[in-house]
Each structure stands twice: as structure tokens, then as C-alpha cells.
Amino acid sequence: SNCNVYGYRSHRHIPADVIHRPWRHHPGGRKVKRPMNLVGLVFGAMFGFVLAAGQLHDYDTIHATLRLESFYVFGLMGLAIGISAPLLWFLEKRQLATPYGGVLSLARSKIERHHIYGGALFGAGWSIAGTCPAPALAMLASGASYGAIAVVGLFIGLLVRDQQLERSNRLITEG
């Protein structure tokens, strides 16, 4: 199936409230229970610990990687992909039921222009800031004041994205 986890083929068909806050919705329409928030918090904390243990929240580590002086981060990313891709493929083939009540179905899409622009924008932000969302939160949790600046920038980016989505949705409904 080419559908995403919500059963839609494209984000253009997903209701606006689900696009903005997908963690609050279940494919059947009911709200997700609070224990899932706790599970998310625990896994998020463990992920943050792994990032910090691997020094991926360190500005100098990221910049050394982006300057191609160190391949440590690329190796770690490759290891993560090498473990998760076959595992996700296996779980999808077994039609694993998700905690949200649906069947695991990974979205597959062709590379389009907006993917290239988004990737370039993300890469530019990553190289300038020396961090991306998860390591920025790990920076903040570890007491690095630079993390606060990066997190504020992340929220500004989310607000700009929401405004752009609202404009796009208005054009689609009006046009």
C-alpha cells in the first residue's frame, strides 16, 4: 500500500488538525490515551541519552563531520539505518499492529521538488546551527546554553511551516 500510517495517500488529503497535531489522533477518530505520552517520554529520554553518549549534541562533533574531518557521525547514522531499515521491513511484512490500533504501513513516495528544497533547507540549518531537533533538545538538557538558541529557532521554523500550510490549505479549498 502507498498509504501513510493514517491511511491517506498524500498530506493534501489529511485533515488540517491531524497535520498540525498528528500525535493526538487515531485513524479511527478517537483520541490517543495518555499512557502513550509516557511511553513517548521514556523513549525520547532514552534517545536523548544515546545522542549525548555519542557526543551528537556537541557542536564541534557535528561541524567536524560536516567539514569531512571525522566520519564518526556518518558511521553512527549508517549503523542506525542498517539496523532500523531491515527491522521496519520485517515488522511491516508481519503487519504489526501499532499502539494506535492500525497496521504498520510505511509511506513510500517519489522524490519531488519539495523534498529537495526541504533537504537543502534542513542541511543548511544543520550546518549553520551545528545541530538538528533531537540533539538541540539534548544540548538544552545537558545545560549547553547554545541549545536554547537552537530550540527557539526550531519553534520559529515550526510556526513558519504552520503558516505556510494554512496558506496552502486555503488556496486548495478556495481554488
For residue range 52-66, what is the model confidence (pLDDT) as tens digits? 888 888 888 888 888
Rounded to 10 degrees, the C-alpha dihedral 140/144/150/156 comes to: 50
For the chain, list residues with pLDDT below 50: 1-14, 16-23
pLDDT at 13: 47
The label of the residue with cell 478556495 reads 174
pLDDT at 30: 54
pLDDT at 32: 52
CA 97 to each of CA 23, 36, 101, 164: distance values in angstroms, whole numbers, following the listed order: 17, 15, 6, 33
Confidence (pLDDT) at 27 = 53
Nearest to 115 by CA among 7, 4, 11: 11
